Structure formats: C-alpha cells, structure tokens
C-alpha cells in the first residue's frame, strides 16, 4: 500500500511541482493551501507524512505543527517543514515544536525525496 502525503503550501507553483514529484515516486497525494485546511485534511485523509510550508494564510506552519503534535491521535504523523525561513532560530523553533525534518527553500528534489523516504523509514 502506498504511503499518503499531504502537501501544505499556499504557492501554486510549489504545490504543482511537489505533487508531481510525490505522485511520480508512488505516493498518494492530497493538497491543502492554508493552515486551517491542512488540519481538516489531516483528519479526513490520515496522511503518513505532511510537507508543511511555514508562511501561510489562516494558520502558520508552526501553528499547524503545534496543533498536530498536541493531538495524541497524530503521534505517528511525520512532519517535514519546507520554508524560505532558514535562519538558525527558525530551524530550531521548527524542530522544537515537533517537525521531524526542517528543509529550506530552494531545495533539491533529490534531497527532498531522500529526506521523505528516510522519515518514512523507506531509505
């Protein structure tokens, strides 16, 4: 059974490229364009991993990550934060609130796939 990935980003070009890449790699994919939609999609889609942008409307990626980590039902959910915010303090914050991986944009698709597979235990 293929793993399920939720892509959460408000930038259409990034969503299109990530969705194409993940589907090409055999994952089942669902997309959300803001933080509130992300939380609703997690509840209905039950993804194995979330690719989560930080700067988004309605709820930031940090708020989404905190909400997911506060929910015992989502304890096994893997979170990969993808963001243009690459300062050490932002990386530390993302990891401190529960992200499994924190990657800065722009990123290589090869590196992203490696991190996604590692995080899902498929490396």
CATH number at residue 103: 3.40.50.2300
pLDDT tens-digit readout, 25-47? 999 999 999 999 999 999 999 99
Angle formed at CA 85 by CA 77 and CA 64, multiple of 5 degrees: 30
CB-based contacts of 59, cutoff 8 Å, min separation 6: 34, 35, 36, 38, 39, 67
Structural tokens at position 83: 């963001």
Q: Does residue 107 have a pLDDT over 90?
A: no
Helix (H/G/I), strand (E/B), else coil: 9:
coil
Question: Quick one: average pLDDT of 1-17?
Answer: 93
Q: Looking at the 3D structure of the chain, how many domains does it have?
A: 1
With beta carbons less than 8 A apart as the criterion, state whether 119 and 76 touch.
no
pTM comes to 0.94
Q: How many CB atoms lie within 10 A of CB 122?
A: 10
* Residue 111 lies in domain: 4-119
Helix (H/G/I), strand (E/B), else coil: 28:
strand
Identify the bridge partners of residue 79 per DSSP, sorted by sequence position: 50
């Amino acid at each position: 059974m293929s793993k399920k990935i939720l892509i959460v980003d408000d930038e259409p070009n990034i969503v299109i490229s990530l969705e194409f890449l993940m589907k090409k790699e055999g994952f089942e994919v669902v997309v959300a364009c803001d933080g509130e939609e992300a939380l609703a999609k997690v509840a209905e889609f039950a993804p194995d991993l979330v690719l989560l942008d930080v700067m988004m409307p309605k709820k930031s990626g940090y708020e989404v990550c905190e909400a997911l980590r506060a929910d015992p039902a989502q304890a096994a959910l893997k979170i990969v934060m993808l963001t243009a915010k690459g300062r050490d303090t932002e990386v530390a914050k993302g990891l401190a609130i529960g992200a499994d991986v924190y990657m800065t944009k722009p990123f290589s698709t090869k590196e992203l796939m490696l991190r996604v597979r590692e995080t899902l235990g498929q490396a």
